[in-house]
Amino acid sequence: MSRGEHTRAVHSPAAPVLGQLPMGLPVYRTAAFRFSSAQEYTDVLGGEAAGYSYSRVDNPTADAFAQAVAALEGIGLDREVVGQPFASGMSAISTVLMALTRSGAHVVAPREIYGGTYGLLTTVLDRFGVETSFVDGTDLDAVRSAIRPETTVLWGETIANPTLSVADLPGLAALAREAGVHSVVDSTFASPAVCRPLEHGIDVVVHSATKFLGGHSDATGGVAIGAPELMDRVRHDRIDLGGMLAPDEAFLLHRGLATLPLRVDRHSRSAAMVAAGLLGHPAVAGVAYPGLSTHRDHALAAKLFDAGRFGGVLTITPRGGLEAGMALVDALRLVSTATSLGGTHSVASHIASTTHRQFSDEALAAAGIDAGAVRVSVGLEDADDVLGDLEQALDRL
Ligand SMILES: *Cc1c(COP(=O)(O)O)cnc(C)c1O
């Protein structure tokens, strides 16, 4: 039977099915997958047969990315860990928090926490009966005292923004075990090329893959990694919440991973050089970078982080407060004024007027953030050029 033009246009010959593995990661840019029978369809949906049904549920390209991150976070582990892919870092964070809490539950989180996570806890989960105590995350006694019978999650950030304080991961993991609750760490600022929290006993690691994992500021995504049983729960809630990673984004993020250790090593070495180079500048009141021996958490960072890798982000406090901070950013020629971090290009943002704009002067002071502080994510340019640009901008203050 000869099929008509429209039918032929829609039902083009199928692409060859390969028995080989391609060198590049195939992008399964499809919303749905076909089944060979009604029985196979129901078996895949029921989990009785392996296979894919719908790309919000699972997608091979997204899976490949999540398992690639799990492989990096799982270096040195003698237990199996798996990853779940997400459309963004916030999607990973919201889904993990919803999977591990319920109405009436309680979370202990650091005061110095990513703004989106703070907003989620205080303006969204709060409406669903989940309460959060914010404490000094670097003070384990404060974390311990905040734990209640209803607590289900201890939250942490490996490296926190913008003071670059470092979480005592083994201590946090031990507290969580003692209390019978889950420990979850946002390791976006570190990446597995600096520190792998699961090695230190943390239950779940989450990332904004938009930052160092992708590394090129051209794709948005997130990922959560943990034990298979826990990730099954997270996947279940991800399916219903809908924050699945798209296949094209998964491809870009996966490609970024191949150079993650190379990039993060260079980001770290350049950031260390820039941080040290700025310390003596007369317009600089302080530089926060965990690789500097002057940083409060340097010893802890040296213990937990891979040798010579303290991450690519530092915070510069110029003399002169808010005006000096904004003028510093405006005087930069090579370093871009932009949000985000962890990409090929160096970027700077004045903290009080951008990422922490909702903080009052008192709240900034309480968090130890100077009104003039500027966060810099050191890119892959020559470190001398980045340092030179910051120096010429500081010279003009
Ligand atoms: C950017 C970021 C997030 C949120 O990630 P998105 O991909 O923007 O949703 C979460 N945590 C930290 C520490 C971040 O820097």
Q: Domain containing 150 — which CATH number?
A: 3.40.640.10
Q: Which atom of ligand 1 is nearest to the CA of 340?
A: 1
Domain shared by 134 and 236, yes or no: yes
Residue 30 inside a domain? The answer is: no
Which one of 41, 43, 52, 56 is the catalytic residue?
Answer: 56
Instruction: Give me the pLDDT at residue 359, please.
Output: 78
Domain boundary among 257, 286, 320: 257
Domain shared by 202 and 60, yes or no: yes
Domain boundary among 195, 230, 257: 257
Is residue 351 within 8 A of residue 373, CB to CB? The reply is yes
> Which residue's CA is the nearest one to ligand 1's atom 6?
89
Q: Which residues does 151 contact at the CB level (< 8 Å), separation at least 6?
A: 105, 106, 107, 108, 179, 181
Q: Is position 303 annotated as part of the catalytic site? A: no
Residue 155 inside a domain? The answer is: yes
Look at the chain and report how many structural domains it folds into.
2
Residue 2 inside a domain? The answer is: no
Q: Which of 114, 118, 120 to mutate to test the pocket of ligand 1 (most atoms within 8 A of CB)?
A: 114
221 CA distance to ligand 1 centroid (A)?
9
Q: Is position 333 annotated as part of the catalytic site? A: no
Buried/exposed 259-271: b ≥16 CB within 10 Å, e otherwise:
bbbebbbbbbbbb
Instruction: Specify the DSSP element, H or E, that contains 348.
Output: strand 347-350
pTM > 0.85: yes or no: yes
Residue 194 inside a domain? The answer is: yes
CA–CA separation, 182 vs 154, rounded Å? 6
Which one of 114, 203, 266, 297 is the catalytic residue?
Answer: 114
Domain shared by 234 and 245, yes or no: yes
CA–CA separation, 147 vs 44, rounded Å? 41
Is residue 69 within 8 A of residue 225, CB to CB? The reply is yes
Compute the C-alpha angle 286/290/294, nearest 5°: 50
Domain shared by 205 and 320, yes or no: no
272 CA distance to ligand 1 centroid (A)?
23
Domain shared by 66 and 172, yes or no: yes
Domain shared by 102 and 232, yes or no: yes
Q: Which residues does 300 contact at the CB level (< 8 Å), separation at least 6?
A: 166, 168
For the chain, which residues score pLDDT lower than 70?
A: 1
Is residue 97 within 8 A of residue 120, CB to CB? The reply is yes
Instruction: Give me the pLDDT at residue 53, please.
Output: 97
Q: Which residues does 83 contact at the CB level (< 8 Å), separation at least 6?
A: 65, 66, 67, 68, 69, 70, 73, 223, 224, 225, 231
Domain shared by 236 and 284, yes or no: no
14: which 2 tokens? Answer: 């199928």
In tens, the pLDDT along 196-248 reads 999 999 999 999 999 999 999 999 999 999 999 999 999 999 999 999 999 99
Domain boundary among 227, 257, 287: 257
172 CA distance to ligand 1 centroid (A)?
21
CA–CA separation, 168 vs 332, rounded Å? 35
Domain shared by 249 and 269, yes or no: no
Helix (H, G, I), strand (E, B) or coil at 385: helix
Ligand 1, CB within 6 Å, residue ranges: 88-90, 114, 116, 157, 186, 188-189, 208, 210-211, 220, 222
Instruction: Give me the pLDDT at residue 24, please.
Output: 95
Which one of 58, 196, 211, 238 is the catalytic residue?
Answer: 211
Domain shared by 94 and 225, yes or no: yes
CATH number of the domain where residue 278 is located: 3.90.1150.10
Domain shared by 136 and 94, yes or no: yes
Domain shared by 215 and 346, yes or no: no
Instruction: Give me the pLDDT at residue 281, please.
Output: 98
Residue 348 inside a domain? The answer is: yes
89 CA distance to ligand 1 centroid (A)?
5
Instruction: Give me the pLDDT at residue 165, please.
Output: 96
Domain shared by 184 and 270, yes or no: no
In tens, the pLDDT along 86-120 reads 999 999 999 999 999 999 999 999 999 999 999 99
- What is the span of the domain harbouring residue 271? 260-395
CA–CA separation, 383 vs 376, rounded Å? 13
91 CA distance to ligand 1 centroid (A)?
9
Residue 24 inside a domain? The answer is: no
Q: Is position 211 annotated as part of the catalytic site? A: yes
